[in-house]
């Protein structure tokens, strides 16, 4: 089996497609594209494919990743071309690379995600100042629901999961937050939760218009590396 | 329509609903057209959820048929789920078509497909949400024409005050003829009424307002007569003569979200020759017409290529009756096994399961098996002409158990004409015999964990069947039968499911109802009834209230035995199968006499006389 990693865009038209539905959508698109998929063994064989990370329903993304296993050699360019011809609007493969043998899975690699969060404030504010005081707290507390525990809530400190937040003011109360948050199996911070904590600190004075994921990274000895650059053949 | 409303719906409303994927509209193979050059806009409405509607083959065919016409833009509309509906009402957003998100009140046609009676309140609700007047009599120039087709349209009367015209029978040819009449009418800038007159001349079109119904003292119908010249006294259903030449799309929409039937549905033939006396489909879809293996294979090839689906299901009323089933199945299996495309064979009759075929299919995918003996005793199976014996059942179930299956579903009906408690007990007895057969397979060879699911539905007498004159069993009797079975099947390895008799009562009312029921429907909707087919939304009390408010007794429709000579509400509809045949079948049923499958020798149902030249060989 040859492993490949695809980077794709999940746009406005597909932002409501859940993780499971997206998997099925890709399965069918891969068939239409005649990508020679490898299948798992066992009683109920399924095509070898897995996403690096689940994206929240309602969010768009410029940098999602899908790992696939193929039986025959096929170039990245070929995969891009063939798949893009048969993907529904709102999904687009940007890049595809062949990985070295026994690569680490995208899922295992992901440690951080970059988001652009588009906010609209009631009035012009000094966002830099807000962020400074937000990040200066010893603990940044947020209340999290636990779907697996009957939606019981717990309070957690999200500060260690915020790697970076920068603000770009657009004027007129419009702000874009460019932030890098922990993402993956070890630590995961949803941007919505971060906003909830921000609201608690500066008041309910803004609305989020749009949240877009920009890319996924792996922390390679302190250095954030985009997934596409890891384990290439 | 304001562009911003469309964005508002998409970006602001959808995040608040439970399954936004229902309302996206940009699924693979969905059709999006620029409005320039569009002459006719058609809202194809399915009065149930997206998941149910997107599983329906007829809708997929007609959607592409219409969109293949350059000047027609056909879009889909499903009943918004109640969470979406309440948001729409709160924010004053009208019912929109999925593809363009334009309001359907501005369309030329709003067309409903009628698959089951209990979706009728959703039609009223959708018209209300759309801002389209609910009654035919309230619609004015410029309003869309509200039309309907599908199996329930054969008794159109309960919806006759709501639907402007019905299209009876198979739509592939008729739909385009109706569109052509519309084009010409539109060019000439004629009146609404004039279009209805023109379209009533298209064969299979029924315009209810062109017919008057009069009643007898006892509330039965005295007569149904055209009130306009040139309107046919009897409306004949449409039939496609050669299915191989009929339109079939080379692509189908692939939903993003999980729907009930999410696979390629290959319609291998239409009609059925078995002549089960309870089955409306078996009568109204006659005659039998098969697609050739070559044609089916070529359709499958195109659909596999364009959809990417991983499963093909052979669809028909009785898959095992297809004359070249093994040839077709083997051809499909050998072609697609390497691509890991599975084959499923639903509605396989228990007396026609081919062991070899089963094994073949099993190689690709292992699915549970369903059997439908329908009645528990041989006597009652003879009454309903379900020509299947206990031996047949045990043999085929046994064959399945020998192959390692351990999961079977058995479907029955209760409340069938002449049924006694003994017949009901026969259902449980049969279940136990099936169980016994499982234990005859040596322990090391049989599938683990036997599970026999027995489901009983409540019999609903339907128009155009030999039982159309029969009363439905009353609710108390059905409940008693269900309780009895529940007791008898309380044993490990059995699961017993039953249907709510309250719902079946309403089904029986609307299946054989007349014009006077339109007002009950509207009243029930006013009292909050919708999605009646969904347990969690079904409001029986509200329905009873609606009947009372309208001064109509549901028993009159559901529980009354009709005289053979009574004018039935659908007497002016001709489905081809004659009343003479139905009467003779009814008499034979009561005597317990069976009628053989007409595949080999014609039993004279009359369908061959419907079209000039005949269709049955
Ligand atoms: S006309 Fe004869 S062969 Fe044709 S469907 Fe009717 S009974 Fe069967």
Residues A202 and A119 in one domain: yes
Nearest to A187 by CA among A135, A111, A116, A108: A111
Burial B255-290 (b: 16+ CB within 10 A, else e): bbbebebbbbbbbbbbbbbbbbbbbbbbbbbbbbbb
The pLDDT value given to residue B347: 55
Which residues, 6 or more positions from A50, have their beta carbon under 8 angstroms from its beta carbon?
A66, A67, A105, A106, A107
Whether the bond between B287 and the residue before it is cis, its omega within 30 degrees of 0, is: yes
Give me the phi and psi of A109, to 5 degrees please: -80, -40
The DSSP element (H or E) to which B431 belongs, if any, is: helix B421-439
Q: Is residue A69 part of a domain?
A: yes
Taking the CA of residue B609 as reference, the ligand 1 atom at the shortest distance is: 1
Model pLDDT for residues A165-198, shown as the tens digit of each residue: 999 877 788 899 999 999 999 999 999 999 999 9
Q: Is the CB of B451 under 6 A from ligand 1?
A: no
Enumerate the CATH 3.40.50.280 domain ranges in chain B, comma separated. Answer: 3-236
Indicate if A101 and A189 belong to the same structural domain.
no
CA-CA distance, B542 to B550, in Å (whole number)?
12
Beta carbons of B308 and A86 less than 8 Å apart: yes
Asked if residue B292 lies in contact with residue B278, where contact means CB atoms within 8 angstroms, the answer is no
Q: Extract the tokens encoding B409.
A: 């579903």
- Give SS3 for A161: helix
Phi-psi region of B465 (alpha: psi -120 to 50; beta: other; left: phi over 0): beta
B325: DSSP letter: H
Please write the tens of the pLDDT for every residue from A10-43: 999 999 999 999 999 999 999 999 999 999 987 7
* CATH number of the domain to which A82 belongs: 3.30.70.580
Predicted confidence at residue B132, as pLDDT, reads 98
User: Which residue, by CA, sits nearest to atom 2 of ligand 1?
Assistant: B602
Per-residue pLDDT, B352: 47
- In angstroms, how far is CA A175 from the centroid of its own chain? 21
Whether A130 and A90 share a structural domain: no
Q: Is B602 in the pocket of ligand 1 (CB under 6 A)?
A: yes
pLDDT tens sequence across B323-382: 898 899 889 988 998 888 988 876 565 444 565 666 666 544 455 678 889 999 999 999
CATH number 3.30.300.90 given to B366-499: no
Domain check: are A38 and A135 in the same one? Answer: no
Q: How far is the CA of B378 from the centre of ligand 1 (A)?
A: 25
Q: What is the largest CA-CA distance in chain B?
A: 77
Q: Is the CB of B605 under 6 A from ligand 1?
A: yes
Could you give the 3-state DSSP secondary structure of residue A138?
coil
Which residues 177-196 of A are in CB contact (within 8 Å) with B? none
In a domain, A168, yes or no: yes
Mark yes or no for CB contact A21/B340 under 8 Å: no
Does residue B165 contact residue B129 with C-beta atoms inside 8 Å? Answer: no
CA distances from A229 to A185, A224, B241, B507, B553 (A): 20, 11, 61, 62, 74
Last residue of one domain, picked from the residues A69, A93, A109: A109
Q: Assess whether A40 and A70 both reside in one domain.
A: yes
The beta-carbon neighbor of A31 closest among B24, B258, B310 is: B310
> Residue B236 pairs with which residues in a beta bridge?
B574
Number of domains in chain A: 2
Nearest CA in chain B to A24: B256
| pLDDT lower than 50: segments of chain B | 350-352, 363-365
**What's the average pLDDT block by block, 10 residues per block, for chain A (233 residues)?**
97 96 97 95 86 95 97 96 98 97 94 96 87 92 86 90 89 90 94 94 90 96 93 89
Considering the domain boundaries, does residue A104 fall inside one? Answer: yes
Task: Give me the CATH number covering residue A221.
Answer: 3.30.70.3190
Mark whether A184 and A128 lie in a shared domain.
Answer: yes
State how far the Cα of B208 lies from the Cα of B221, in Å rounded to an integer.
Answer: 15
Token pair, residue B241, equals 């003569």
Find tokens 């549905």 and name the residue.
B265
Residues A117, A105: one domain?
A: no
Is the minimum CB–CB distance between A24 and chain B shorter than 8 Å? yes
Q: How far apart are CA A58 and CA A44, in angstroms?
A: 32
Question: What is the distance, to the nearest Å, from the Cα of residue B437 to the centroid of all Cα atoms in its chain?
Answer: 35
The answer to whether A21 faces chain B, any CB pair under 8 Å, is yes
Judge whether A204 lies within some domain: yes
Residue with tokens 């940009």: B26
Choose among B27, B305, B309: nearest Cβ to A88. B27
Is the Cβ pair A18, B310 closer than 8 Å? Answer: no
- Asked whether residue A207 falls in the same domain as residue A161, the answer is yes
Q: Looking at the structure, tell me whether residues A122 and A194 fall in a common domain.
A: yes
CB proximity A34 to B under 8 Å: no
**How are beta strands B235-236 and B221-226 bridged, if at all?**
unpaired
pLDDT at residue B610, as a whole number: 82
How many angstroms separate the CA of residue A214 from the nearest CA in chain B?
Answer: 19
Q: Which residues of A touch B307 (CB under 8 A)?
A: 28, 32
Nearest chain B CA: its distance from A137 CA (Å)? 32
pLDDT of the residue at B351: 47
Q: Indicate if ligand 1 lies below 6 Å from the C-beta of B616.
A: yes
Residue A231 counted as domain residue: no
- Dist. CA B25–CA B97, nearest whole Å: 8
Question: Residue B152 C-alpha to ligand 1 middle, in angstroms?
Answer: 22
- Write b or e for each residue in B423-444: b if 16 or more Cβ atoms lie within 10 A of its Cβ, otherwise e: bbbbbbebbeebbebbeebeee
Residues A117 and A222 in one domain: yes
- For every residue of B349-395, which 3-state class applies, written as one string? CCCCCCHHHHHHHHHHCCCCEEEEEECCCHHHHHHCCCCCCHHHHHH
Note whether A145 and A50 are same-domain residues. no
Report CA-CA distances (Å) from B308 to B26, B263, B295, B312, B484.
Answer: 16, 9, 20, 11, 47
Its CATH architecture, for the domain B3-236, is 3-Layer(aba) Sandwich (3.40)
DSSP helix/strand/coil, B591:
helix
Q: Which of A46, A88, A118, A207 to probe the B interface (max B CBs under 10 A)?
A: A88
Q: Do A89 and B26 touch (CB under 8 A)?
A: yes
The minimal CB distance from B26 to the residues A13, A18, A21 is found for A13
Last residue in a domain, options A55, A82, A109: A109
pLDDT of B134: 97
Residue B348: per-residue pLDDT: 60
- Residue range of the domain that includes A83: 2-109
Ligand 1 centroid vs B514 CA: distance in angstroms? 29
**What beta strand segments (E) does A129-205 contain?**
141-146, 152-157, 162-171, 174-182
CA B118 to chain centroid: 11
Q: Which segments of chain B belong to CATH 3.30.750.200?
A: 366-499
CA distance A179 to A183: 12
**Residue A159 is assigned to a structural domain of this protein:** yes
Place of tokens 């095509």: A47
Two tokens, residue B327: 């040839």
Q: Model ipTM?
A: 0.92
Q: Are residues A149 and A194 in the same domain?
A: yes
Q: A232 in a domain, yes or no?
A: no
- Reference B309, options B60, B59, B19; nearest CA is B60
What are the helix (H) ranges across B57-144? Answer: 57-67, 82-90, 120-130
CB–CB of A16 and B21 under 8 A?
yes
Query: Is there an atom of ligand 1 within 6 Å of B598 CB?
Result: yes
Q: Which among A124, A141, A24 is positioned nearest to B28, based on CA atoms?
A: A24
């Amino acid at each position: 089996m040859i492993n490949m990693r695809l980077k794709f865009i999940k746009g406005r038209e597909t932002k409501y497609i859940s993780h499971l539905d997206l998997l099925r959508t890709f399965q069918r698109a891969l068939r239409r594209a005649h990508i020679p998929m490898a299948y798992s063994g066992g009683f109920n064989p399924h095509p070898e494919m897995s996403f690096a990370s689940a994206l929240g329903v309602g969010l768009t993304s410029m940098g999602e990743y899908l790992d696939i296993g193929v039986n025959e050699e096929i170039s990245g360019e070929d995969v891009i071309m063939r798949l893009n011809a048969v993907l529904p609007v709102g999904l687009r493969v940007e890049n595809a690379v062949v990985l070295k043998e026994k690569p680490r899975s995208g899922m295992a690699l992901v440690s951080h995600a970059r988001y652009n969060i588009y906010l609209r404030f009631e009035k012009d504010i000094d966002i830099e100042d807000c962020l400074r005081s937000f990040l200066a707290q010893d603990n940044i507390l947020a209340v999290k629901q636990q779907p697996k525990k009957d939606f019981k809530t717990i309070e957690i400190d999200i500060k260690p999961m915020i790697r970076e937040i920068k603000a770009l003011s657009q004027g007129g109360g419009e702000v874009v937050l460019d932030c890098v948050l922990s993402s993956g199996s070890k630590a995961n911070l949803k941007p919505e939760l971060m906003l909830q904590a921000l609201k608690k600190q500066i008041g309910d004075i803004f609305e989020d218009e749009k949240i877009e994921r920009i890319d996924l990274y792996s922390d390679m000895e302190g250095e954030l590396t985009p997934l596409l650059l890891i384990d290439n053949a | 329509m304001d562009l911003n409303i469309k964005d508002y719906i998409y970006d602001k409303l959808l995040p608040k609903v439970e399954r936004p994927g229902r309302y996206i509209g940009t699924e693979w193979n969905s059709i999006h057209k620029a409005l320039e050059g569009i002459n006719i806009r058609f809202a194809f409405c399915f009065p149930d959820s997206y998941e149910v509607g997107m599983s329906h083959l007829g809708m997929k065919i007609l959607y592409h048929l219409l969109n293949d016409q350059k000047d027609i833009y056909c879009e889909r509309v499903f009943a918004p789920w109640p969470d979406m509906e309440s948001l729409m009402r709160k924010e004053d957003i009208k019912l929109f078509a999925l593809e363009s998100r334009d309001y359907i009140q501005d369309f030329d046609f709003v067309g409903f497909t009628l698959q089951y009676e209990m979706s009728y309140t959703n039609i009223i609700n959708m018209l209300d949400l759309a801002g389209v007047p609910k009654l035919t009599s309230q619609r004015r120039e410029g309003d869309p024409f509200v039309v309907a087709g599908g199996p329930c349209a054969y008794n159109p009367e309960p919806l006759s005050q709501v639907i402007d015209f019905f299209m009876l029978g198979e739509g592939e040819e008729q739909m385009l003829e109706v569109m052509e009449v519309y084009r010409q009418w539109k060019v000439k800038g004629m009146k609404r009424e004039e279009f209805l007159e023109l379209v009533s001349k298209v064969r299979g079109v029924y315009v209810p307002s062109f017919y008057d119904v009069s009643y007898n003292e006892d509330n039965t119908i005295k007569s149904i007569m055209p009130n306009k010249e040139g309107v046919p006294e009897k409306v004949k259903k449409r039939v496609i003569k050669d299915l191989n030449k009929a339109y079939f799309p080379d692509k189908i929409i692939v939903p993003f979200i999980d729907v009930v039937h999410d696979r390629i549905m290959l319609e291998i033939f239409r009609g059925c020759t078995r002549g089960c006396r309870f089955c409306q489909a078996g009568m109204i879809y006659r005659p039998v017409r098969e697609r050739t293996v070559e044609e089916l294979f070529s359709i499958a090839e195109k659909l596999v290529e364009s959809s990417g689906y991983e499963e093909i299901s052979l669809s028909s009323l009785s898959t095992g009756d297809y004359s070249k089933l093994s040839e077709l199945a083997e051809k499909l299996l050998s072609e697609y096994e390497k691509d890991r495309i599975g084959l499923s064979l639903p509605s396989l009759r228990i007396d026609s399961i081919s062991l070899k075929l089963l094994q073949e299919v099993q190689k690709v995918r292992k699915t549970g098996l369903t059997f439908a003996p329908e009645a528990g005793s041989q006597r009652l199976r003879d009454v309903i002409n379900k020509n299947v014996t206990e031996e047949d059942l045990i043999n085929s179930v046994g064959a399945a158990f020998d192959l390692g299956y351990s999961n079977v579903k058995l479907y029955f009906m209760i409340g069938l004409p002449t049924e006694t408690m003994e017949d009901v007990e026969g259902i449980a007895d049969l279940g136990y015999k099936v169980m016994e057969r499982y234990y005859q397979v040596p322990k090391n060879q049989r599938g683990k964990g036997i599970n026999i699911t027995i489901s009983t539905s409540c019999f609903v007498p339907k128009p155009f069947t030999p039982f159309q004159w029969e009363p439905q069993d009353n609710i108390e009797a059905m409940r008693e039968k269900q309780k009895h079975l529940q007791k008898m099947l309380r044993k490990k390895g059995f699961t017993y499911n039953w249907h709510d008799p309250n719902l079946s009562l309403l089904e029986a009312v609307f299946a054989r109802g007349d014009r006077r029921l339109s007002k009950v429907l509207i009243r029930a909707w006013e009292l909050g009834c919708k999605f009646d087919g969904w347990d969690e939304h079904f409001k029986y009390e509200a329905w009873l209230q609606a009947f009372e408010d309208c001064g109509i007794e549901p028993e009159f429709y559901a529980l009354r035995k009709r005289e053979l000579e009574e004018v039935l509400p659908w007497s002016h509809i001709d489905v081809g199968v004659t009343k003479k045949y139905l009467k003779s079948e009814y008499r034979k049923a009561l005597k317990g006499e069976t009628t053989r499958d007409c595949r080999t020798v014609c039993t004279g149902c009359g369908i061959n006389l419907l079209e000039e030249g005949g269709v049955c060989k």
